């Protein structure tokens, strides 16, 4: 009797366990929640595709679901008209015959969550894509417009002749869908324009964003640095002395205000002068030995940290010197400091030819 009772208890326990387990499984299944299904052409990112007869397109499908597991993201692809377009279980569409069809992409976990892609099949196809420029050279922030031409067979439509523009490196150059290229940073990139009707006809444009590196030359550098703010001159001169590594006994020449001749002073005497100066402009002429200039580079020698009105080196005067730009004459140049060197946007070596010939700097174009 006890054995029968024990067996009954065990049987009841197992039954409850199985029942509870089934409940857990059912509850776990209910927890899967499909929020959204999105499916687009993998090439264009669009929900409408125009294909030439016989060509293919691949869909990229994204399923938003919780829990976020691959097993919960499976979908079923179905076409509304197999005579017009077929679709594989991997989302590859093949255009069969001119006409229209709809591809429905439904979640396996919840068939009510679905996406639809409109497919139009045309008889004609793109046979060639060409561009009016094979390559362009730009400086940072410059733009260039490339014009693309499309050749297509009879039966092609405006939609089937649409092109897609892409850049291989958007950190260097970007491109709009109108073919406008913008230089972002020095380097190279390849712009590709491709047909979207499945023929994959394309053309490319090589883009080079160019710079010129200014480095120190072989000669001692004599610079005329004009300080313009009387309230800051004392500090500016101190910064200048520190940056150029000048000693109190080193010589400088000061041209005060509108004076036509310069006054020679030691650095110590000049410091005292600037402590009491009330003049608006003072030009400091100083020669920096090549060895000292080499420690500072062009960035430290010519683009002094002092707030100045201008710096004249040789026959070239730099004005409106900022952290990222300066002017020579009426031309504004943008630049970055590459360690000791100055990297100027664009191919501008000829603009600094007077300084390179005097061996005060070198100018190397990339």
pLDDT tens readout for residues 247-264:
999 999 999 888 889 999
Q: Quick: pLDDT tens for 22-59.
A: 444 445 456 899 999 999 999 999 999 999 999 999 99
| DSSP designation for 250 | S
CATH class of 126-209: mainly beta
Contacts of 330-334 spanning 24+ positions with Cβ under 8 A = 334/139, 334/140, 334/141
* % of the chain beyond a pLDDT of 90: 71
Q: Quick: pLDDT tens for 215-250.
A: 999 999 999 998 888 788 888 888 888 888 889 999
The pLDDT of residue 103 is 98
Task: Name the residue ranges covered by the structural domains of the chain.
Answer: 1-31, 33-122, 126-209, 213-365
Q: Quick: pLDDT tens for 278-297.
A: 777 899 998 888 888 888 88
Return the structure tokens found at 294: 């080499």
Q: How far apart are CA 250 and CA 126, in angstroms?
A: 75
Q: How far apart are CA 259 and CA 147, in angstroms?
A: 58
Fold topology of 33-122: Immunoglobulin-like (2.60.40)
* Residue 110, pLDDT above cutoff 90: yes
Same fold, 33-122 and 126-209: yes
Burial class (CB in 10 A: 0-12, 13-18, 19+), 323: exposed
* Residue 160, pLDDT above cutoff 50: yes
Give whole-number Cα distances, 224 to 125, 258, 286, 333, 341, in Å: 67, 15, 7, 20, 20
Q: Quick: pLDDT tens for 173-191.
A: 999 999 999 999 999 999 9
Question: What are the φ/ψ torsions at residue 43 (nearest 5 degrees)?
Answer: -85, -50
């Amino acid at each position: 009797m006890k054995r029968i009772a024990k067996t009954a208890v065990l049987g009841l326990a197992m039954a409850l366990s199985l029942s509870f387990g089934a409940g857990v499984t059912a509850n776990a299944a209910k927890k899967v929640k499909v929020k959204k299904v999105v499916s687009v052409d993998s090439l264009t990112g669009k929900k409408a595709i125009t294909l030439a007869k016989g060509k293919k397109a691949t869909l990229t499908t994204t399923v938003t679901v919780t829990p976020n597991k691959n097993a919960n993201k499976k979908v079923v692809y179905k076409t509304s008209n197999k005579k017009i377009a077929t679709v594989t279980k991997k989302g590859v569409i093949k255009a069969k015959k001119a006409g229209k069809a709809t591809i429905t992409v439904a979640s396996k976990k919840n068939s009510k969550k679905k996406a639809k892609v409109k497919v139009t099949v045309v008889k004609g196809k793109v046979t060639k894509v060409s561009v009016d420029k094979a390559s362009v050279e730009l400086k940072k922030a410059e733009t260039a417009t490339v014009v693309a031409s499309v050749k297509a067979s009879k039966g092609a439509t405006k939609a089937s002749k649409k092109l897609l523009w892409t850049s291989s490196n958007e950190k260097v150059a970007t491109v709009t869908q109108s073919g406008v290229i913008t230089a972002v940073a020095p380097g190279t990139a390849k712009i590709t324009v491709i047909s979207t009707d499945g023929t994959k006809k394309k053309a490319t444009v090589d883009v080079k964003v160019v710079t010129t590196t200014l480095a120190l030359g072989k000669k001692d550098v004599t610079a005329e640095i004009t300080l313009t703010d009387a309230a800051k001159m004392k500090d500016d001169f101190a910064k200048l002395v520190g940056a150029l590594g000048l000693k109190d006994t080193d010589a400088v020449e000061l041209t005060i205000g509108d004076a036509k001749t310069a006054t020679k002073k030691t650095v110590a005497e000049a410091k005292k002068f600037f402590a009491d100066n009330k003049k608006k402009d003072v030009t400091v002429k100083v020669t920096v030995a090549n060895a000292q200039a080499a420690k500072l580079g062009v960035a430290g020698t010519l683009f002094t940290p002092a707030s100045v009105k201008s710096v004249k080196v040789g026959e070239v005067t730099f004005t409106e010197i900022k952290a990222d730009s300066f002017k020579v004459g009426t031309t504004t140049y943008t630049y970055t400091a590459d360690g000791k060197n100055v990297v100027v946007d664009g191919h501008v070596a000829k603009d600094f030819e007077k300084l390179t010939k005097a061996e005060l700097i070198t100018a190397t174009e990339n």
